[in-house]
Amino acid sequence: MAGRATDRMVNRLMKTYGGRAAPVVAMLLACVLALSSCASGAGTMGGGVGEAASGGAAGAAADTATDSAAPYEDVGFAMGTVVNQTIYMRGESVTPAAVAAEIIGILEGVESKWLSWRVGDSDIAAINRAAGTGVPARVADETAAYIDDALRIAEDSGGAFDPTIGKLSRLWDFDSGKNEIPDSAEIKRLTKDVGYAGIRLNGRSVLLEKASGIDLGAAGKGIGCDEIEAYLSGVEGVRGALVNVGGSSILAYGEKGTGEPWKVAVLDPRDAAGFLGAVSLDGTHHVSTSGDYERYFETGGKRYHHILDPKTGYPADSGLMSVTVVAKNGLGCDALSTACFVLGYEKSLPLLAKHGAEGIFVDTDRRVFLTDGIKDRFTLMADGYDLANGGGIQ
């Protein structure tokens, strides 16, 4: 069903990254399937990414309009996840392979130089080492600017998104696979130190007042997409690109060679290989999803997932399985999806409106709620879900 293009991508990925790629191949397949299906029309399965984008009815019709309708496809690995790229070129001032490689390099740089708490000489690691000592860390202009933007979302969301969650998220350690609920006294102790108001930002100097830790994991892929957008806007030869970072943050940049809108897949929160639907977008947009299915374990019949409520120190419990946000800015989009997941549907509406963003909310009763601005852009495709508040293309 995925087609030869998908097989080729998976083979290449396995060859390039070997065992490291194994946990993400299922996710990659889901993304590839979703995008190929969306590109070939709602509800129509079949055809790989390449076929759907350059051949078939839609692609063939548009081929006559431009010589760049056929996209370049690339699968790489950065920020600990699979990165799918579909690039539409115009002219030959640069090769698409060079553009794709540059994009992977940008994501690697964002992670290792600025954001990773794991990489010892990143800016965030330096801030965290100095946390609670009263000595500020000096960071890159970019890191300072991104912390400033993150603080704004923290404030606007009333702390539902809080970048000082670092020590708490390491305590839960969803990446380790140990799948244990941490000691409740320890959760309580670390939760006391969470609070974005304890970040003192002064130019390039950052001081974390309490012995907490900054974790920009909730906004990092979005920041990566912002950097990619800035790079692409300076590359004359790129007409458009769809860059999918791990399925949870997607940049739809410019326009397709076919002139059609982008169709961005939204994953099904309860089917790792399926998709909930697709969003149709004209021009440059960012799309980010936060879900309780990304990293979680179950014990005693309850799901414990990686999106924490900074007020309780426990996984957020607002009745949602996933939130997808569409916005004009990557960091905002990514941080808002996390904030909205913590807040729940109703409380998220003013926050999204303030940031000019739209949202697709899926609750645990499989009801899909759409904000007004996205009702005529979203197509529900998965069985077993209902559009709860009207709208949507059926």
137 binds, among ligand AMP, Mg ion, none (CB under 5 to 8 A by kind): none
User: Which residue shows structure tokens 């904030």?
Assistant: 339
Please say which residue, 118 or 138, places its beta carbon nearer to ligand AMP.
Answer: 118
Binding marks (x or -) toward ligand AMP, 141..180, rule CB under 6 A?
--------------------xxx-x---x-----------
Among 239, 285, 306, 377, binds ligand AMP (CB under 6 A): 306
Closest contact distance (angstroms) between CB of 172 and Mg ion is 16
Please say which residue, 252 or 325, places its beta carbon nearer to ligand AMP.
Answer: 325
The answer to whether residues 216 and 148 touch, using CB atoms and an 8 Å cutoff, is no
Closest contact distance (angstroms) between CB of 320 and ligand AMP is 11
What's CA 350's distance to the chain center, in Å? 21
58 vs 38: CA distance, rounded Å: 11
Number of residues located near ligand AMP, criterion CB under 6 A: 19
308 binds, among ligand AMP, Mg ion, none (CB under 5 to 8 A by kind): ligand AMP
What is the chain's length?
Answer: 394
Please say which residue, 258 or 318, places its beta carbon nearer to ligand AMP.
Answer: 318
Distances from the Cα of 380 to the Cα of 59, 169, 266, 280, 370, angstroms: 23, 33, 9, 12, 11
Residues contacting 120, CB < 8 A, separation 6+: none
Residue whose C-alpha is closest to residue 190's, from 217, 208, 216, 172: 172
289 vs 326: CA distance, rounded Å: 9
Among 217, 277, 344, 359, binds ligand AMP (CB under 6 A): 217
Q: Which residues from 335-374 bind ligand AMP, rule CB under 6 A?
A: 337-338, 342
Closest contact distance (angstroms) between CB of 206 and ligand AMP is 17
Residue whose C-alpha is closest to residue 292's, from 350, 248, 331, 332: 248
The answer for 324, left when phi > 0, alpha when psi is -120 to 50, beta otherwise, is beta
> DSSP readout, 326-373?
EESSHHHHHHHHHHHHHH-HHHHHHHHHHTT-EEEEEETTSEEEE-GG
Closest contact distance (angstroms) between CB of 316 and Mg ion is 12
308 binds ligand AMP, rule: CB under 6 A: yes
Residues contacting 234, CB < 8 A, separation 6+: none
79 binds, among Mg ion, ligand AMP, none (CB under 5 to 8 A by kind): none
Please say which residue, 40 or 322, places its beta carbon nearer to ligand AMP.
Answer: 322
342 binds, among ligand AMP, Mg ion, none (CB under 5 to 8 A by kind): ligand AMP
Quick one: which segment of 129-137, 214-222, 356-364, 379-387 binds ligand AMP (CB under 6 A)? 214-222
Please say which residue, 218 or 374, places its beta carbon nearer to Mg ion.
Answer: 218
Please say which residue, 218 or 327, places its beta carbon nearer to Mg ion.
Answer: 218
Residue 19's identity, in one-letter code, is G
240 vs 71: CA distance, rounded Å: 9
Closest contact distance (angstroms) between CB of 350 and ligand AMP is 18
310 binds, among ligand AMP, Mg ion, none (CB under 5 to 8 A by kind): ligand AMP
Quick one: which segment of 198-206, 303-311, 351-359, 385-393 binds ligand AMP (CB under 6 A)? 303-311
Q: For helices 141-156 and 330-343, give the axis angle rounded to 10 degrees.
A: 30
Residues contacting 232, CB < 8 A, separation 6+: 99, 238, 241, 253, 254
Interface with ligand AMP (CB under 6 A)? 161-163, 165, 169, 215, 217-218, 248, 290, 294, 306-308, 310, 334, 337-338, 342
